Each structure stands twice: as structure tokens, then as C-alpha cells.
Amino acid sequence: MWLLTEQQINKLKEANLKFPDVNSTCIWCSACVAICSDVFELDDDWMSVVKSLDNYDWIWVDDAISACPVNAISWK
């Protein structure tokens, strides 16, 4: 799930930049937020969402992916 707009997603794809994706298996553990709050936050339903950024390469996203107990996070 994203706070990214469709336009921002398309811009990242056109630039061949990967970005994190959180799927519906998220169990609200907030491990990703604890590890990488620059990228992830919990929405009003306590689901993890991806913040809108221009580039995700320099951030600890891989660590958040590894820490997710239900494998809800992946690169797109």
C-alpha cells in the first residue's frame, strides 16, 4: 500500500527506480516503521504504507523487508 500517487509510481517506473510495496498480508506489527520510518508509516487502519519519496535506494528498506514476519513487503 502506498501514499504514493499513480503519477509518482509511473515516474519511478519510467526512471527504472524500484520502490517498496506492502501487500494486504500486513499484520500491523510496525517492525518496518521501527526500522525505516523514513519510508514506512501506519495509516488510520494500522496498515503499513509507503511514504512518497523520489528515491528509495539509500534507505534501510531491505532491513525492513527482512524483518517483516509475514513477508508483506517487497520491491516493485
Cβ-proximal residues to 51 (8 Å cutoff; 6+ apart), any chain? 3, 38, 39, 40, 41
Q: List the grid coordinates of 64.
A: 525492513
- In the chain, % helix, strand, coil (3-state, to 5) comes to 30, 15, 55
pTM (two decimals): 0.85
Q: Which CATH number is associated with domain 6-75?
A: 3.30.70.20
pLDDT in tens, 8-61: 888 888 999 999 999 999 998 999 999 999 999 999 888 999 999 988 887 899
pLDDT category of residue 67 using cuts at 50, 70 and 90:
very high
